[in-house]
Amino acid sequence: MSRRRPRRNVPSDGPFTVDRRFQSTLCTWFRRVRRPLPWRQSRDPYRIWVSEVMLQQTQVATVIPYFQRFLQTFPTLADLAAAPEEEVLRQWEGLGYYRRARSLHRAAKIIAAEYNGEMPREAEALARLPGIGRYTLGAILSQAFDQRYPAVDANAARVLCRLAAWDQPLGTSATQSWLQATAEAVLPAQGVGEFNQALMELGSLVCKPRNPECLLCPVRKWCQAARRGIQEQLPIKARQKQPCTIVEAGVIIRHRRRLLLVKRCADAARWASLWEFPHSPLQDHEDLPTAVRHLAGNDLGLNIELGRFLGVIAYGVTRFRYQLHVVEARRICGRLRLRNHEEARWTKPDELANLPMPSPQRRVVRLLGAQPLKCRS
Ligand code: SF4
């Protein structure tokens, strides 16, 4: 079906505004239908902060068990600040976007050292902490301290775009500025945390990306998109880049009943400080045995004897689709050296569970479990 761009009916130089009745109607609806999510049980800024960081790019249903486990392991900000980074990453494992966990941990250490363990209430101080962007700042200040800051996640952005029939693509600076100004303009004088949550909840439960349930919507009478019947066409998405496939060679090298794991550098763009089996993209026209020998020789300084082919792990990261072909091998000789990693470890198989690993690498471990290695040396 063609998606015609709707005609604009809002001024480009000002935010969409609403009256007080809109705010009270939305909040009354929220009190009636709100989900009893575990981070909504109190206004503890630490719990709100952890949940908001986890919820970035991640579904509520996925976050709930992680949140509960994380809070059991680190019940207070002081517990998180005192924990080793490896333990924090292990608790985060599977949620992805590990930079969030490292920033959370660093920020907790700063709060413990410089703010006596108390979450700062000033926007300027919060904004200086690692990993606290405009959304997280607004969510903490409004929900924990009832300060008048908006919190615009993808759900709230969709609702606002539809309410105002905003027809510029998401992701443009014009839309970002408009969203921020609009989200500020619609805030009530009090109960800001509840209002922000109500807007997001509306996007999550009613004003969904597809098939918004306008007939059940509590704020339908204020909605310009519904009035014009263009709610399905909004918001306008930014143009997406084409997906790209990358084939990788991965190897599990064994030596004296141990397996070689390498640790990514702390400043790696992705999966920093996590452990993995050595792997790298196949070069043009390279076959798997050649690629694995190159990887072992060039990146690790090891001479290896190839063993069985263990399988293929398919995974995606943003628009990239990876196919990781995994083989086993045995170290013959060579002195271990590292070119692309900061640490290596010959690991007993039963120690793998304690090391933080990216999800695709944990699947490699499972591959190993499905086909136990025969350790000959
Ligand atoms: S009326 Fe429909 S499009 Fe408008 S806010 Fe409600 S659910 Fe969304």
Region of 301 (left: φ > 0; alpha: ψ -120 to 50; beta: rest) is: left
Say if ligand 1 is within 6 A of residue 206 CB.
Answer: yes
Residue 14's pLDDT band (boundaries 50, 70, 90)?
Answer: low
258 falls within a domain:
yes
Q: Which two tokens stand for residue 150?
A: 């908006």
- What is the rounded distance in angstroms from the CA atom of residue 161 to the CA atom of residue 324? 40
Q: Is 134 part of a structural domain of the chain?
A: yes
- Write the pLDDT tens digit of every residue in 37-90: 999 999 999 999 999 999 998 999 999 999 999 999 999 999 999 999 999 999
Catalytic residues: 52
Q: In the predicted model, what is the mean pLDDT of the chain?
A: 92
Q: Name residue 160's amino acid.
A: L
Question: pLDDT by residue (tens digit) across 321-349?
Answer: 999 999 999 999 999 999 989 999 999 99
* CA-closest residue to ligand 1 atom 8: 207
Q: CA distances (Å), 226 to each of 114, 166, 219, 231, 315, in order? A: 49, 12, 10, 6, 38
> Alpha-carbon distance 77 to 118, whole Å?
8
Same domain, residue pair 48 and 190: yes
Instruction: Categorize the per-residue pLDDT at 375 as very low, low, confident or very high, splitting at 50, 70 and 90.
Output: very low
Amino acid identity, residue 95?
A: L
DSSP for 34-72 reads ----GGGS---HHHHHHHHHHHTTS-HHHHHHHHHHHHH
Is 68 in the same domain as 130?
yes
Contact between 260 and 346 under an 8 Å Cβ cutoff? The reply is: yes
User: 166 CA distance to ligand 1 centroid (A)?
Assistant: 13
CA of 140 to the centre of ligand 1 (A): 26
List all residues 6 or more positions away from 234 whose beta carbon is below 8 Å from its beta carbon: 6, 158, 161, 162, 165, 166, 167, 225
Structure tokens given for 313: 């792990």
C-alpha span between 315 and 165 (Å, rounded): 36
Quick check: helix, strand or coil at residue 245?
strand
Structural tokens at position 357: 């690993």
Nearest to 376 by CA among 256, 277, 259: 256
Do 251 and 199 have their domain in common? Answer: no
**Would you call 238 helix, strand, or coil by DSSP?**
coil
**C-beta 220 within 6 A of ligand 1:** yes
By percentage, how much of the chain surpasses pLDDT 90? 85
**Which of 183, 181, 221 is closest to 29 using CA atoms?**
221
CATH code (residue 344): 3.90.79.10
Do residues 190 and 276 share a domain? no
Q: Is residue 212 part of a domain?
A: no
Question: Residues 90, 184: one domain?
Answer: yes
Query: Do 194 and 256 lie in a common domain?
Result: no
Residue 351 falls within a domain, yes or no?
Answer: yes
Give the residue numbers spanning the domain of 267.
Answer: 244-370
Residue nearest to atom 2 of ligand 1 (CA): 214
Label the pairing between strands 320-333 and 244-255.
parallel
Q: Is 34 within the bounds of a domain?
A: yes
- Asked, for residue 121, whether it belongs to a domain, the answer is yes
CB 277 within 8 A of CB 284: no
The pLDDT of 346-369, averaged and rounded, is 92
Number of domains in the chain: 2
CA angle 329/334/339 to nearest 5° reads 85
Q: Let me know if residue 78 belongs to a domain.
A: yes
Assigned domain for 164 exists:
no
Same domain, 134 and 201: yes
Q: Domain containing 40 — which CATH number?
A: 1.10.340.30
Type of residue at 267: D
